[in-house]
Amino acid sequence: MLGELESLMRRINRTNAATPVDGGTLTDALARRDVLRLQHRMVTSAADAAAGECQRGFRQLRSELKMIPALAVAQLRSQADDLARQLREVDTLIQRTNWEVDLLD
């Protein structure tokens, strides 16, 4: 079974490297998708932290200092939305290509 898995993985990698997609290869599109996922997660986490999402459940007294975001939350949310759109587009392209291309031997 492991030999068959290795063979399948080699075929998939060869196919991805040889399949042209949107000015690059399918391997390039997969790398782009992975980076977009990381960027989206990072920007979303930064927006959540700046908006105080991690502070929910904590009670504050009137004598405590008011929390002021150090980052522009609206701008980060907009950037996260744009990254999510790009991610969906790349993912759709990858999935469409996977249906259209046969594995190389």
Question: What is the per-residue pLDDT for 55?
Answer: 62
pTM confidence score: 0.81
pLDDT at 77: 96
Q: CB-based contacts of 33: which residues, under 8 Å, 6+ apart?
A: 87, 90, 91, 94
Read off the pLDDT of residues 19-35 as tens digits, 9 standing for 90 and up: 999 999 999 999 999 99
**Residues lower than pLDDT 50 in the chain:** none
pLDDT of residue 63: 61
pLDDT of residue 71: 84
